[in-house]
Structure 1
Amino acid sequence: MAPATYQLSDLTSFIRRVFALNLPEPVWVAAELAQVNISRGHCWLTLVQKEAESDAIKAQLEAVVWANKLRELQGIHGLKMTKGLLQQGMSVRLRVSTSFHERFGLRLVVEDIDPTHTIGALERRRQQTLESLAADNLMNRNAELPLPVVPQRLAVISSDTAAGLADFREQLEGNPYGYRFQLRLFGAAMQGAQTSPEIISRLREIRRNWPDAFDAVVIVRGGGGRTDLAAFDDEALCRAVAEFPLPVLLGIGHETDETVLDRVAHKSLKTPTATAVFLVERLMQAEVRLLQLGRGVLSVGTHQLSAATQELNRQASAVRQAAGQSLLHEHHRLDRLAGELNQLPGRILSTANDQLSHYEQLLAALRPETTLARGYALVSQEGRLITNPDDLVEGEVDVRLKEGRVKLKMQGRGLPPPTE
């Protein structure tokens, strides 16, 4: 007997009745949101369950939150909380009913959301990330980097449409001190599943292409609930910030909740505005320190100038006194030399007279007449004084005595004959 053949509509009607009979009441289901899309006010979800070891998808179903139910849930749990829960990558616990449509197939219809499940899962992941970073000594690595005294060249990572970015810019550009900041925006998602990979990509871009162009990196976004900040607990993002070679300042718009990224950044501020205020105040503090140093330099310079002036005056007085004493001494010396100079010609003349008298006496003693008076004679021959008998030659010899002259005739080598 041939097996029965059913029309497709008959089979789908049968399946719909099976689901209606076996799942008459909504049930709670835990899953991960693989995709989230909003269309015409409805929220379309892809729910998955992954293998713990490999992240391979073990089960998958489509679900929907109808627009009227979405508004109801937003009224119950809050708009921000609901939007934060219904994000790609979130672990959720949903109260669902089954809906099987003959044309569109099986779909789960979301009736309620359990925020505590998602927040609990986020907290567990947060603690795991903290433990992993602490084990690798990354919690304080970025905080230990020196932040420049005047950080003015800033790489800003944010969504170009974020309200927080506008607040940040306005606060910096309108600061009352006239400080100038150089901002370069690196656009990235600030909410949802793409937040972590896009921020990591921007950090890599800055590190690769502009390693020395910036003083610091600033990550800012607008406000949000706890689930909106889930991306900032991502371990890969936190590691990228912790290991970044520049100080990373964080202003992601939360007042009470603290993300892991807050813990590893160089400095975390509550809001983008607070981040801008911090930067402006840092420059103001640097200016105050500079002015204090200037006043200190002026004070020290004035003191040293005063001391140097006093020393110069003292030395000038000493020079004037020494010059006066030297001039007085020189005046006395000149007076003494003038007196000596006045006496000098007389002494020179007296000395010269004494020398002259001495020379006259010596001359008188050495005159031939004086010698002749003592009985000596001067013997000369042919105009030459004879001092050695061997010098005599034949001929006339002149002998000079005190009282006259005697002419002698020299013959041979004997005594000359006497002459009158």
Structure 2
Amino acid sequence: MSLIGQEYEQRGSPQDDTVLTVSQLNRQVARLLETGIPRLWVVGEISNFTRAASGHWYFSIKDEAAVVRAVMFRGRTQMVGFVPDVGGRYEFRVQVSLYEPRGDFQVQVESVRRAGRGDLHEAFLRLKDRLTQEGLIDPSRRRPLPAMPRTVGVVTSLAAAALRDVLSVMARRAPHIRVIVYPAPVQGREAAAQLCAALDQAAVRAEVDLLLLVRGGGSLEDLWCFNDEALARRIAASPVPVISGVGHETDFTIADFVADLRAPTPTAAAELCCDSRDQALGRVQGALSQLMRDQRRRLEHAAIRLDRATAQLISPAQRLRMHRQRLDAAYERLLPPLWQRLRQHEQAVLWASRRTQAGMERLLQKDGRRLAVAEGTLRALDPRAVLTRGYSIVHRSDGSIVKNALDLKIPERIDIEFGQGWAQADVVRTDSLL
């Protein structure tokens, strides 16, 4: 016996001569459905999706053989975090119910999640195993990164926050290093192919010493283009070493495994690609100091050997004194030039830093002006700006825009969008302006 049948039998059936109104009948059926069937998960595709002005979602859930109507109220939709795509496959947490005014069987959706995460994870593991067997993930295959790169390439979207993070870190830590951006989308169906094209472009142009492949965090689906097999092989075959900085620290993609270095975040990738300006200056100063110490030690050893030679000689003492004087003079000539070279290098580095900083400021000002012009153009082209002047947009129940009054049917229900708010109306007459 079904759950509904059990519940109905426990409550007791009405007498044969009991007469119910339609409202009473629907109310009893709705109560049986809601109490007899527990909340459960349903998987299917979305169709006939409508977002009402109230914030509720109305749609259908279907598979190959059946369809059921569904509603998700505003309080639930605000917690989803995304708008489902028509035709997309999702999993729904539902309560089975009946819409009493029309007697329609439906489900009330409490939560929704993307289906297929398990399939994606299995595909990820299969590709990782295959690349491991081919040796592309072997740590011994990874190439060393350049100690002091002069030019660094960044492969990412121009609109990505990751790009701003990388440029900010580079400008702060290493303004003397040139940065070249190879733009490509980092999400969507075409992203993997365009990321491959960006890597190919960097290889052909051969103008950078190191490549950063970066993107901010996201869901497994958002980061899926970085699990593409073609992209993984491009990274492994790149003539330029690649640092992968995709997602957050807990996110792992195939690109991370085949890259020469995996950074936990885009910011960390920028920090790992080179030493900071202070670190570089420290290394130069340390090298010069070590050179001076070595020279001083050699001179001291030469002086000791000279003293020993002098002690062993019976004559001529004058000649030994002359050698000592020449050695002292050489010692005095050697030290000042070394200090002078150190100061010259420091001045050169500081001058290069100032020039780089000034160039970055000019570039940011120029981009700011271009952004302001683009924002003005976008506001001017906003179709909803027209609505504030008294116009309105008419939508059919499927969300399409009505362009011709003769396309409407009587008594079709339409949604009217104003500058502020919505309204619903029924078509009672149509006419043409011609």
Instruction: Answer yes or no: is 1:224 the counterpart of 2:224.
Output: no
Gaps of 5+ in 1: 1-24, 50-58, 98-107, 326-420
Of residues 299-308 and 275-284 in structure 1, the stretch that sits farther from structure 2 once superposed is 275-284
* Equivalent residue, structure 2, for 1:304: 298
Q: Could you tell me how far 1:188 is from its partner in structure 2? A: 0.8
Cα distance in 1, alignment partners of residues 280 and 177 from structure 2: 15
SS in 2 for 1:228: coil
Cα distance in 1, alignment partners of residues 167 and 247 from structure 2: 15
Letter aligned with residue 202 of structure 1? A
Cα distance in 1, alignment partners of residues 181 and 57 from structure 2: 32
Mapping 1:274-285, distance limit 5 Å: 274-281=268-275
Q: Is the 8 A contact 1:156 1:185 kept in 2?
A: yes
Instruction: Answer yes or no: is 1:194 the counterpart of 2:190.
Output: yes
Q: Is the 8 A contact 2:246 2:256 kept in 1?
A: no
Cα distance in 1, alignment partners of residues 227 and 57 from structure 2: 25
SS in 2 for 1:126: helix
Q: For residues 159-192 of structure 1, give each alpha carbon's deviation from its aligned partner in whole angstroms, at most 9, with x where no partner exists.
A: 11111211110111022xx541211111111122
Cα distance in 2, alignment partners of residues 266 and 88 from structure 1: 40
Judged with a 3 Å threshold, the aligned counterparts in structure 2 of structure 1 residues 299 and 71 are, in CA distance, closer, same or farther, namely farther
Q: For residues 293-324 of structure 1, give each alpha carbon's deviation from its aligned partner in whole angstroms, at most 9, with x where no partner exists.
A: 43332222111011223334555677792367
Q: Is the 8 A contact 1:249 1:266 kept in 2?
A: yes
Q: Could you tell me how far 1:281 is from its partner in structure 2? A: 3.6
Cα distance in 1, alignment partners of residues 165 and 91 from structure 2: 36
Judged with a 3 Å threshold, the aligned counterparts in structure 2 of structure 1 residues 283 and 221 are, in CA distance, closer, same or farther, namely same
Judged with a 3 Å threshold, the aligned counterparts in structure 2 of structure 1 residues 275 and 317 are, in CA distance, closer, same or farther, namely same
* Equivalent residue, structure 2, for 1:343: none
Instruction: Answer yes or no: is 1:157 the counterpart of 2:155.
Output: yes
Letter aligned with residue 245 of structure 2? G
* Equivalent residue, structure 1, for 2:230: 236
How high is the TM-score relative to the length of structure 1?
0.51
Q: Could you tell me how far 1:29 is from its partner in structure 2? A: 3.9
Mapping 1:323-362, distance limit 5 Å: none
* Equivalent residue, structure 2, for 1:210: 205
SS in 2 for 1:129: helix
Q: Could you tell me how far 1:257 is from its partner in structure 2? A: 2.2
* Equivalent residue, structure 1, for 2:255: 261
Judged with a 3 Å threshold, the aligned counterparts in structure 2 of structure 1 residues 123 and 163 are, in CA distance, closer, same or farther, namely same
Judged with a 3 Å threshold, the aligned counterparts in structure 2 of structure 1 residues 246 and 116 are, in CA distance, closer, same or farther, namely same
SS in 2 for 1:227: coil
Cα distance in 2, alignment partners of residues 60 and 215 from structure 1: 57
* Equivalent residue, structure 1, for 2:129: 131
Letter aligned with residue 132 of structure 2? A
* Equivalent residue, structure 2, for 1:346: none
* Equivalent residue, structure 2, for 1:148: 146
Cα distance in 2, alignment partners of residues 295 and 227 from structure 1: 53
* Percent of matched pairs sharing the same residue: 25
Letter aligned with residue 225 of structure 2? A
Q: Is the 8 A contact 2:210 2:273 kept in 1?
A: no
Cα distance in 1, alignment partners of residues 248 and 293 from structure 2: 46
Q: For residues 343-370 of structure 1, give each alpha carbon's deviation from its aligned partner in whole angstroms, at most 9, with x where no partner exists.
A: xxxxxxxxxxxxxxxxxxxxxxxxxxxx
* Equivalent residue, structure 1, for 2:42: 28
* Equivalent residue, structure 2, for 1:72: 76
Cα distance in 2, alignment partners of residues 88 and 143 from structure 1: 44
Q: Is the 8 A contact 1:221 1:272 kept in 2?
A: yes
**May I ask how many residue pairs the two structures share in their alignment?**
270
Cα distance in 2, alignment partners of residues 240 and 39 from structure 1: 46
* Equivalent residue, structure 2, for 1:330: none
Q: Could you tell me how far 1:283 is from its partner in structure 2? A: 6.7
Between 1 and 2, higher relative CO (CA 8 Å, sep ≥ 6) is seen in: 1
Cα distance in 2, alignment partners of residues 39 and 189 from structure 1: 32
Q: Could you tell me how far 1:249 is from its partner in structure 2? A: 1.0
Q: Could you tell me how far 1:44 is from its partner in structure 2? A: 12
Judged with a 3 Å threshold, the aligned counterparts in structure 2 of structure 1 residues 236 and 289 are, in CA distance, closer, same or farther, namely same
Q: Is the 8 A contact 1:188 1:195 kept in 2?
A: yes
* Equivalent residue, structure 1, for 2:117: 119
Q: Could you tell me how far 1:261 is from its partner in structure 2? A: 1.6
2:240 corresponds to which of 243, 246, 258: 246
Q: For residues 360-382 of structure 1, give each alpha carbon's deviation from its aligned partner in whole angstroms, at most 9, with x where no partner exists.
A: xxxxxxxxxxxxxxxxxxxxxxx
Mapping 1:158-197, distance limit 5 Å: 158-175=156-173, 179-197=175-193
SS in 1 for 2:222: helix
Q: Could you tell me how far 1:215 is from its partner in structure 2? A: 0.9
Measured on the aligned residues, the alpha-carbon RMSD in Å equals 4.8
Cα distance in 1, alignment partners of residues 232 and 91 from structure 2: 27
Judged with a 3 Å threshold, the aligned counterparts in structure 2 of structure 1 residues 299 and 62 are, in CA distance, closer, same or farther, namely farther
SS in 2 for 1:151: coil
Q: For residues 199-226 of structure 1, give each alpha carbon's deviation from its aligned partner in whole angstroms, at most 9, with x where no partner exists.
A: 011111222x213x21111112223233
Q: Is the 8 A contact 2:165 2:267 kept in 1?
A: yes
Q: For residues 193-251 of structure 1, give each alpha carbon's deviation from its aligned partner in whole angstroms, at most 9, with x where no partner exists.
A: 222111011111222x213x211111122232333222222222222212222211122
* Equivalent residue, structure 2, for 1:415: none
Letter aligned with residue 198 of structure 2? R
* Equivalent residue, structure 2, for 1:371: none
Gaps of 5+ in 2: 1-36, 96-105, 320-434
How high is the TM-score relative to the length of structure 2?
0.50
Cα distance in 2, alignment partners of residues 319 and 44 from structure 1: 109
